[in-house]
Structures are given as C-alpha cells and as structure tokens.
Amino acid sequence: MTPNEGAGARSDTQWPLWEVFTQEGEGAPHEHAGSVHAVDAEHALQNARDVYARRGKVVSIWVVPSEQIIASAPGDAGPLFDPGNDKPYRHPQFYKVPRGVRVE
Amino acid sequence: MAEFEARLDRGETIEPKDWMPEKYRKQLIRMMSQHAHSEIVGMLPEGNWITRAPSLRRKITLLAKVQDEAGHGLYIYCGTETLGIGREELVDQLLTGKAKYSSIFNYPTLTWADIGVIGWFVDGAAIVNQTMLAKTSYGPYARAMIRICKEENFHKRQGYEICSVLAAGTQAQRDMVQDAVNRWWWPSLMMFGPSDKESPNSAELIRWRVKRESNDTLRQRFVDLTVPQAKAINVSLPDPDLKYNAETEHWDFGAIDWDEFYQVIKGNGPCNRERLAARRSAHDDGALVRDAAAAYARKRSAASAA
C-alpha cells in the first residue's frame, strides 16, 4: 500500500516517519521517545523538539528514518540471546573470595 | 493464541512486532485512535479562550496546556501507527466522522470558568483513566500514557486553581464557577463510558489487559477524588443523591442520563458539527504548509545531489 492509499478521496501526505531518541540530562543515554513525521532531517529535529522536549531536561535529540531501523525479530529472541543466559562466570557472584575481604 | 494469552497472564508487554490476534490489534487501533483524536479535538474548546484569558499568567498557562494536548495527540498517533495503520488514514477517519472522539469535547465553553472546570474535571477524569492505561498490555500505548501522565498533573492543578480563585471571588465569580460546575459535572462522569453492564468492548479489553479496570470502577474513583475537592472550595456538585456510604467507603451518586450520552455520541451534542467543521478547515488550510514543506525538501535534496 502506498502512503496515500489510506487517505480516501483526500490527496494528503503526512510526510515520512522518523524515530526520535532523547537524552534527558548530561551523561544519560539516548532513549527512544517516539516518532514524528517530517519532510527531512532538519524538520524532523524541529518537530521532535516540539513534541518530545516541551519541558526542560532534554539536552540532545537523535532522529533516524524509521525505515532505517533494523530490529531483531521476536521469534529469534531465543537463539539470539540464549548464549548470554548460561554463562554465570560472567558475573562477579560466580567467584568466591575469602570471608571478610572487600574486593569492590 | 494460547501462548499470547499466557504471555498476558504472566504480565508481559506486547510489542509491535510480536504476534497478536487481529481482534486485539483492531481493538487497540480503535481505542488508541479515539484517544488521539480526543486530544486533538480537545484543543478546540480551550483554544476558544486563549485570546480572552483574564491575565498573562492564565494566558501562558492555557497556551502551554493546549500545546501539550497537541503533543499528547501526537504521542498516541505514533503509538497507533506501530499497529500498522498510517497517519493519513487515521486523520481521514477523524475528518470523515468514521472515528469517534470523547463526547465531552462536544460541549461548549461559555465562560472563563469553563476553562477552570475543564482542567479540574475533564483532565482529572482523564488522569484517572490514563493512570490505569499506563499499565496496559501494549507497550507503545503504555509508554505514551506514562509520558502523558507526567505532564498532565499540571493541567488539573491549573484548572483547580482557576476554580478556587473564582470560588473565593465576588458573587458574580462564584455564580460563574458554580454554573460551569453544574454544566460539566454529568458530562465528565460520562467520559468513563457506558456502565459495565452496557459496555460492549469492556470484557474483552480487560481479558487482554488493554484495560485493567472497568468503567464503573474508574468513574467511582473520580467521584471519590472530586467530592472533597469541591467541598474545599465551597462549590456544590449538582447531584441531590450524592452522599457518603460508610459501608462501601465510597460516595454514592445519582443516575446518569445515558440518553444524553448516546445522543452526543451519535453526533447530536451541542457542538459536534462545529468541532468537525473546525478540524476539517484546519486540515484544509494546512494543505498549503504540508505541500510547501514537501516542495522545499525536494528542492534541497536536489540541490545537495547536484
């Protein structure tokens, strides 16, 4: 379906979709906030500012065309992530230290 | 399906790419788009008073609130789009009248006191509903609700502040706020939707944890929260049957006029036609801006390619 097909008789465009990531404070990670429609990257940044940064806090915004996001498939989650699930030796609790000694 | 329901029973969150029954997807599109449209149409009754706000403080507040409503509409539209429906189609459903929005926005804002009472009652009721929806099973909807709840408490407080100032003012101001309370109280109770017995979608929505509580439970919570707030500023709620029930520890209230509710839903409220006409003309007037932005982007990308 082309983007305009759903709009019935109205010839309309709501512009391409962009995903928005905001950083709420210095040193914090950028986190997915939502999405906006915009004609280009600069416009997407402006719209993202208006929609997701109306109140203090946000110090940086990333925008990326939604179609450029590559995501893992939910059905692959098992085989994709289980190599990380059976390696207790990657956690500090796996290792014994003499009683009464502080190591961290 | 069994696996889907097992996931819901374990309290897991459903994400856009996860398998979901078509009915779940449809119900969410219906409910979320209705919610987004309500935020957008909700700008109209309040926008009506921006130029006539009684002070600069009230005016910047009202501007910020109306901007928030636009933002909230956009949060929920983008959440709805993750279900596979385009923004164009969503907008079209609103403008053609195919999709509904909250019946409350089909009532007029006759005086300045209406702006106070909308913040206090309408946003107050919305917060009760949205706090429940912040725990909904669909991830993008829940995340939009959390974002909205964080912002919306200011809406309610500024409304209650307007009401408390008017209620402590001159006789004319007291009469004005009481009149607004009288007009908005019952429509605000109707915002929670039909009684549980009459609500066709409720059981399924609760089973799929889209909603976590019933319409009547949420309505009762709103009444219990609001009665002491009204007493504190000496305005009365227009219900002779309103009385505290020591046994249930809730405020009992009188019968809701559901005929009025269904008339407004059907399009026969005081402002249904006016609201849709205003949205349509805003959309048509905006075509120029949408086309110009698209043309500008084409020109810029041609220039950078050259």
pLDDT of residue B301: 87
Residue of A nearest to B288 (CA): A12
Hey, what are A72's tokens? 């893992």
Quote the CA–CA distance of B180 and B172 in Å, as a whole number.
Answer: 12
Judging contacts by C-beta atoms under 8 Å, the chain A residues touching residue B153 are none
Which residue's structure tokens are 């036609």? B273
Mind telling me how many Å the CA of A96 is from chain B's nearest CA?
A: 35
Length of chain B: 306
- Pick left, alpha or beta for residue B16 (phi over 0 → left; psi -120 to 50 → alpha; otherwise beta): alpha
Residue A33: its chain B contacts at CB < 8 A? 147
Q: What is the mean pLDDT of residues A10-21?
A: 82
> Residue B237: pLDDT above 90?
yes
Q: Average pLDDT in the B208-214 region?
A: 94
Q: Do A10 and B92 count as a contact with CB atoms less than 8 A apart?
A: yes
Cα–Cα distance for residue pair A34/A62, rounded to 1 Å = 11
Across the interface, whether the CB atoms of B88 and A51 are under 8 A apart is answered no
When CB atoms are compared, the residue of B75, B85, B296 closest to A34 is B75
* Cα distance between residue B171 and residue B247, in whole Å: 38
User: What share of chain B has pLDDT > 90, as a percent?
Assistant: 93
Helix then strand count (H, E) for chain A reads 2, 3
- Cα gap B74→B31, rounded to integer Å: 15
Residues 6+ apart with CB under 8 A from B177: B113, B116, B117, B163, B166, B167, B235
Cβ-in-10-Å burial (0-12, 13-18, 19+) of B213 comes to: middle
d(Cα B276, Cα B105) in Å, to the nearest integer? 11
CA distance B174 to chain A (A): 34
The two three-digit tokens of residue B159, written as one number: 């409304």
Taking 70 as the threshold, does the pLDDT of residue B227 lie above it? yes
Which residues of chain A does B79 touch, with a Cβ-Cβ cutoff of 8 Å?
A: 34
Cα B110 to chain centroid, rounded: 20
| Residue A82 or residue B104, greater confidence | B104
Residue with the larger pLDDT of the pair A4 and B221:
B221
**Terminus-to-terminus CA distance in chain A, angstroms?**
57
Mean pLDDT of B219-246: 98
Q: Do B87 and A37 touch (CB under 8 A)?
A: yes
Share above pLDDT 70 across residues of chain B, in percent, rounded to a whole number:
100
Q: Which residues of A touch B147 (CB under 8 A)?
A: 33-34
Report the C-alpha gap between B73 and B223 in whole angstroms: 26
The pLDDT, as a whole number, for residue A12 is: 65
Compute the mean pLDDT over every residue in chain B, rounded to the nearest whole number.
95
Indicate whether A7 pLDDT > 70: no
Please, which residues bridge with residue A19 across strands?
A35, A64
Cα dihedral sign, B215-B218-B224-B228: negative
> Which chain B residue is nearest to residue A56, measuring alpha carbons?
B151
